[in-house]
Structure 1
Amino acid sequence: MEGMPTTARPVIAIVGGGPRGVSLLERIGANLPRGAALDVHLIDDTQIGAGRIWRTDQPRELCMNTLADAVTLFTDDAASIAGPIRPGPTLYEWCQLVRHGAHGGADAVVSRIPEAHVAAFARVPVRPGLADEYSAELRAQRPESHPSRALYGEYIAWCLAHAKATLPAGVRVHEHLARVVGARRHDGRDILDLGDREIAADAVVAATGWLERTVTAEERRILGAVDAHPSLIWVRPDSPADQSLDRVPDRAEAIVRGLGMGFFDAMALLSVGRGGRFADDAGAPGGLRYEPSGREPLLHVTSRRGVPFRAKTLYGSLPPRAPQHHLRAVDWTAVPRPIDFDGRVWPLILRDAFADYHTTLARVKPEAVDLRAALDAIRSAPLEATGAATRERIAVLADAVSPFVADPDDRLDLAAAILPGEGATWASPAEYASWVERFVLDDLAEAERGLDSPLKAALWSIASARGVVSRIGAFGGFDAESRAAGFRALMTVGGMVGSGPPAFRSRQLLALMRAGIVRFIGPGAAVTSADGAFHASSPAVSGSGVSAPVLVDAWMHAHDVAETADPLVRSLAADGRVRPFEAPSRASGGVATGGFDIEPATGRLVHADGTVDPSFHVAGIPIDETMHDAIISPMPRTDPTMLRETDRVARSLIAAAAASDHGSTT
């Protein structure tokens, strides 16, 4: 990018020092012209070079549900970016290099790491003592391991050190452990308010991650109950490392809402985090038993579906690339926007799931299926004519393929797999507990089959479709009606079947169920408060009502620019510099979403009046409903959304700063 002044010192501010803020700094350095002079202010209120979610002081019991060798903050030759490619180690490779040293070429593991990645590691030393502090985890690390969140935070911090070390000599980085509580435009610059000081910047990007939302009507009712009865304890929705779970008394009963990763994190902190331990036991369901410390609370758990997210499949390697022959066969760039997801896209995803199931079945049990006939039936089944109901489309596919799978036990019941227990009732909590235990055990058995599980192949196909679909639907690619129906269903189902816990967490759950520490209420349990207690019961499980003095909401709020409690965003909104992104609608001009409206090519804010901000950008999770795929960590060799985003936003930041003739203010 030409034209950056070399006499003045323009200023860029990055608000957020987590993985996206670090990547933005690296991309700024990669895209700067030779001889550039620039001041960069990196601002975070928790930990610069890890951020709040990945900070390095959080409990080691908390782990990623992403695999070690499937995480990177570096670009590679698969990236479709305008800026330079600068390779570096994945998280797993970095762990091996930390353990063995940058020059451990004699070691079989290190010798397989690309030379460019080793060279990048060699440029910047890790902090003293890191290898010793994480020695046990580093020794146990495999490409398919689930690292602790703290260890990922250490990787991000090293990536920050690397990014700073590779900046042009004329770039100065100023770090501020502070929160930006407001911004105003003055004399052609953005003035960021840090409470005790101000920073004037020529270009700004907010890469803040999860933003706090205003209190909902239900939460006001809960707060009212807590105010009226001080003995009640409510743990509000948040990242598990930030939730006040230490407020849950030892041996107390607690109602827990949510059965995704937030639940599994809370489960770990309230069990082994309270001094208990898991021990191998070949005779126990899942192969583990739990030995309590006596401090564990009793957890009554529920969610909309009432069952936990499915375990990650144990491939013994990184997951395979789902073929998705039907979904990828369409040139989506040639399809007019907005696209009817339910009519055009969802049928192809379901076809792919059935195709992957039967292809895997034919490989592991050739006599079970006439594969060619089954694939022809899947291809020709009239899904588009069945309307929007997922169950109807699944039934059409199942009927079409059943003549070619002789044994009913070998047939795919996809509806049961992605909508477990929907419409069912149970006569007692004990009956429901047995059903949940069987669900988890069956899912673990399929996970252990790895590549040889037809069911997991079908579910992985659906989960993997989220990445493809997110690119198709970015910036209004799908209409509002589709977003509220099939697209939402895909993201919900895909999360349950593809973004669940490591398999060992499901085993731990079984052990805690057997120990009586985790009990399932049932699906769709509504929570009320009365007489100094929280109450919950499931309409699908007779006799499921429970009461407890503690309520734990084990999940995080979705973003909503119109309902944010973040002071920076509120100050921008007060000045008319932000507006919600609107998805095109069949019934009206547009329907507001929770995401920021931005200019796609640059990430610059779109004002309430439709004009584009000259200097203020937003990147990452707060635009997930606008761009999609903004939450997933970058995976190597996949041209990840995050690295494409940080490269183009970095280039826009440089251009905005280059247009200014202001000097630096520090």
Structure 2
Amino acid sequence: MAPTSPTVPAIAVIGLGPRSIAVLERLVSHLTHLSDPPERLYLHLIDDAQHGGGRIWNIDQTHALVMNTFADGMTLFAEPGATVADPVTEGPTIYEWIRLVRGDETGIAPAKVDYFRAHPLLPQFRPVTEDFSAEELDAVLPHSYLPRALYGFYIQWVYSSVLDRLPDWVTPVAHAARAVGIRESGECDEIALSDATTLAATATVFVSGWQHQGFTEQEKWINAKLRKDPRLHWVRADNPIDQDVAGIAAGERVLVRGLGMGFFDVLALSTVERGGRFVEDAAAPGGLRYEASGDEPRFFASSRRGYPFLPQAADGQVPPPAAMPRLRKVIKALSARGGSHCIDYDTEVWPAVVRDAYATYVETLARVRPDALRRPVAEALAEIDAADINPRARFGGVEVLDRIVEESTDEPFSLVPYIEQIPRQFDSVAELTAWAAGRIAHDIAESERGQDSPVRAALWSVGSARKPTQVLGAEARYTAESRRNLFHTAVALGQFACSGPPLFRSRQLLALIEAGVVTLVGGSPVLDVDEGTWVLRSEYSASESVRGTTLVDAWVHKPDIRRLPSDPLMARLVSTGRVRPFSETRADGETLLTGSPELDPQTRLAVGVDGETDPRLHLVGIPAHSQYPDTTLAPPLPGTDSWFIQEADKAAVSALDRALRAVVAQPA
């Protein structure tokens, strides 16, 4: 622990996952360029999980859990030209870092090479080469999907390099504990840790990540059922690495809610991690056959949509940025409009998203199959631009395509099937599953076509629209009505279409369906209990009942401070009024509270119940999802001027400024 000093400023960083490491990187870049530094500054680094990775990116986890982001699409460093305060310290992306670990410097900017050479891993951290062989690292390509543990090693190296750069007058103090309480004391925060330590900070940066939440009403009902019947089991929504999937018995019937990445992780942990094998088989749907170990459970899966997230494109290259010319034009015009609650996403933004998607479909179709168009591309695009897009009529579907595209086209495109749930026309769960299997096989084929798939290209355009439209609507610039209507629909569609699993996961799912390990139940599931079993029904499969003794919720709750969080520190901040919910206003003047804490846009300082900006407390990242874009999307993409890095810089600059304004005695 730091020695006693009556005049030493101190910054506390709570949580040490990737977003915190980005904050620290920006903080150290500014520390090293202070013109008048103090004699000493303490930097308290607080997390009971792995420092430089946290829980989600723990380097000790199985390599079977992978990311859904390309290897060449991740960095934790600010880049020249980024919207951050100077200076910028250039460091390698994860793909460049892997190449540098292998000794390959070809084509990597000299500044990044120099940074890598200057900062070998500190002795207290385990090198990546102990866990990943040279062959595994050599096999990484720009479009590879990396094991999460490998990303954890990158985060840990960045963290190590940041600590290595600290000026001599900065003393880092690592705390392998959880922050459980906080109170104001004069010009500092007194932070209580789970190991009974109390420390003082003149500035605090709380980067909480995916916090555990208080129970929803349905979860309270589930808990009541669990107390009444010990035969029932429930795996609550959480990061899969923290869910007790291993406790599910072989052959047990398991009901799953959620068909996104958490679902695919649960399958991996319950099949290949239990000795099952996926074997290449050209005769099998999707090209894979599953050979069971006998230790697998049986899964009956559902979700609100009722259909699994689409696989990522897999044509051996990183998809290029979507053009989105209509959306960019609209954003440029609307960005000049002042005030909040002033943009109607439904009527002013969504039509441009739709037109760009259908135009991309036509342009790609013209490139790969020009005979499918009934008229020249320019005329087809003009018809799309002239079409009346009613946002409330079938989600803005453009029927004009019926006049542009030949009927012989294999897949007449419409956004509607991707937005709406699966057809309500199945007489049984088996019939629905058979339909879904055929559709998944189609999705796999489209994924393999990649940029040559008009459908994938159109959906990529919709997915790419998420960030610029979120940035446009930050700080409640969209009307509350439109934010809660089509904006949420569009973001969910983009996630469904472009944030799904790697292709091999969809191929594995299809093999598991064929092997009888997975059955799909349908959308909008209804949960009940009957005679010691959970019961799940969906009207999409004629409300046929499926039963199981274990219920798995395969998702992660978005943080919501209105449900008093189970995280003791955030709960304390809410109960003492140091944070308040960010609010939106309807056209009729009604205030709508969100689940996010309100933050000051320029500093990321919390706003209290009195409406005043907190003097020390900064909140960064996921909890602010209602106020800011990109908070739930990680990691930041190179070349995008990511808000992830921008907010890290804002918090770092403000924390340093506030830390140096006040001083506090540090405990011995």
1:94 counterpart = 2:97? yes
Q: Which residue of 2 aligns with 1:454?
A: 454
1:353 counterpart = 2:357? yes
Alpha-carbon RMSD = 1.7
The answer to whether the 8 Å contact 2:395/2:416 transfers is no
For 2:541, the aligned partner's letter is: V
Q: Which residue of 1 aligns with 2:110?
A: 115
Q: Which residue of 1 aligns with 2:651?
A: 649
For 1:375, the aligned partner's letter is: L
Shift of 1:139: 2.6
Q: Which residue of 1 aligns with 2:593?
A: 592
Distance 2:217 2:119 in 1: 50
For 1:622, the aligned partner's letter is: P
The answer to whether the 8 Å contact 2:537/2:544 transfers is yes
1:661 counterpart = 2:647? no
For 1:17, the aligned partner's letter is: L
Q: Which residue of 1 aligns with 2:578?
A: 577
State the Cα deviation string for residues 436-471 of structure 1 (Å, max 9, x = none): 011111111111111111100110000011110111
Distance 1:72 1:217 in 2: 39
Shift of 1:432: 1.1
1:124 counterpart = 2:125? no
1:265 counterpart = 2:265? yes
What are the within-5 Å matches in structure 2 for residues 367-378 of structure 1? 367-369=371-373, 370-378=376-384
The answer to whether the 8 Å contact 1:233/1:247 transfers is no
Shift of 1:663: 4.4
Distance 1:664 1:429 in 2: 64
Distance 2:395 2:65 in 1: 40
Shift of 1:424: 2.6
Distance 2:459 2:298 in 1: 32
SS at match of 2:42: strand
Q: TM-score, normalised by structure 1?
A: 0.94
Distance 1:391 1:239 in 2: 35
Shift of 1:403: 2.2
Distance 2:81 2:414 in 1: 33
Q: Would the alpha carbon gap of residues 364 and 78 (structure 1) be closer, same or farther in structure 2, given more than 3 Å must change?
A: farther
Shift of 1:415: 3.2
Distance 1:659 1:280 in 2: 63
State the Cα deviation string for residues 581-622 of structure 1 (Å, max 9, x = none): 002321225311111101000000101010110110100001
State the Cα deviation string for residues 619-661 of structure 1 (Å, max 9, x = none): 0001111112112210101101100010111000011111113
Distance 1:228 1:493 in 2: 39
1:60 counterpart = 2:60? no
What are the within-5 Å matches in structure 2 for residues 21-60 of structure 1? 21-32=20-31, 33-34=34-35, 36=37, 37-60=40-63
The answer to whether the 8 Å contact 2:96/2:108 transfers is yes
Distance 1:665 1:238 in 2: 36
State the Cα deviation string for residues 33-86 of structure 1 (Å, max 9, x = none): 146232111111111110111111222111110111100001112411123111
Q: Which residue of 1 aligns with 2:182?
A: 183
For 2:620, the aligned partner's letter is: A
SS at match of 2:289: strand
What are the within-5 Å matches in structure 2 for residues 219-298 of structure 1? 219-298=219-298
Shift of 1:251: 1.3
Q: Which residue of 1 aligns with 2:162?
A: 163
Q: Would the alpha carbon gap of residues 340 and 128 (structure 1) be closer, same or farther in structure 2, given more than 3 Å must change?
A: closer
Q: Which residue of 1 aligns with 2:150?
A: 151
State the Cα deviation string for residues 363-397 of structure 1 (Å, max 9, x = none): 111222221111111111122xx3x4251521xx2
Tell me how many residue pairs correspond in the alignment. 647
Distance 1:40 1:474 in 2: 31
Q: Would the alpha carbon gap of residues 482 and 646 (structure 1) be closer, same or farther in structure 2, given more than 3 Å must change?
A: same
1:76 counterpart = 2:88? no
Shift of 1:542: 2.8
For 2:657, the aligned partner's letter is: A
Shift of 1:574: 2.1
Shift of 1:218: 1.1
State the Cα deviation string for residues 235-265 of structure 1 (Å, max 9, x = none): 1100000001111111111001100000000
Q: Which residue of 1 aligns with 2:503?
A: 503
Q: Would the alpha carbon gap of residues 420 and 512 (structure 1) be closer, same or farther in structure 2, given more than 3 Å must change?
A: farther
What are the within-5 Å matches in structure 2 for residues 502-651 of structure 1? 502-542=502-542, 544-563=544-563, 564-632=565-633, 633-651=635-653
For 2:24, the aligned partner's letter is: L
State the Cα deviation string for residues 387-422 of structure 1 (Å, max 9, x = none): x4251521xx22x24322233526743234413654
SS at match of 2:470: helix
Shift of 1:125: 2.1
Distance 1:54 1:260 in 2: 18
Identity of aligned residues (%): 39
The answer to whether the 8 Å contact 1:192/1:198 transfers is yes
SS at match of 2:311: coil
> 1:379 aligned to 376, 385, 388, which one?
385
Shift of 1:130: 2.4
Which structure 2 residue ranges, 5 or more long, are not aligned? none
Shift of 1:168: 2.1
SS at match of 1:147: strand
The answer to whether the 8 Å contact 2:422/2:540 transfers is no
State the Cα deviation string for residues 141-161 of structure 1 (Å, max 9, x = none): 111111111111111110000
Q: Which residue of 2 aligns with 1:204?
A: 204
Distance 1:543 1:418 in 2: 22
SS at match of 1:191: strand
Stretch moving more, 310-319 or 549-558: 310-319
Distance 1:277 1:34 in 2: 60
The answer to whether the 8 Å contact 1:35/1:170 transfers is no
Shift of 1:350: 0.4
Q: Which residue of 1 aligns with 2:440?
A: 440
For 2:251, the aligned partner's letter is: R
The answer to whether the 8 Å contact 1:405/1:411 transfers is no
For 2:364, the aligned partner's letter is: T
Distance 2:483 2:185 in 1: 39
Distance 1:505 1:655 in 2: 47
Stretch moving more, 110-119 or 185-194: 110-119
SS at match of 1:547: strand
State the Cα deviation string for residues 343-364 of structure 1 (Å, max 9, x = none): 1111110011011111111111
What are the within-5 Å matches in structure 2 for residues 459-498 of structure 1? 459-498=459-498
Distance 2:244 2:275 in 1: 17
For 1:164, the aligned partner's letter is: L
The answer to whether the 8 Å contact 1:522/1:544 transfers is no
Shift of 1:162: 0.7
Stretch moving more, 559-568 or 135-144: 135-144
Distance 1:17 1:269 in 2: 26
Q: Which residue of 2 aligns with 1:107?
A: none
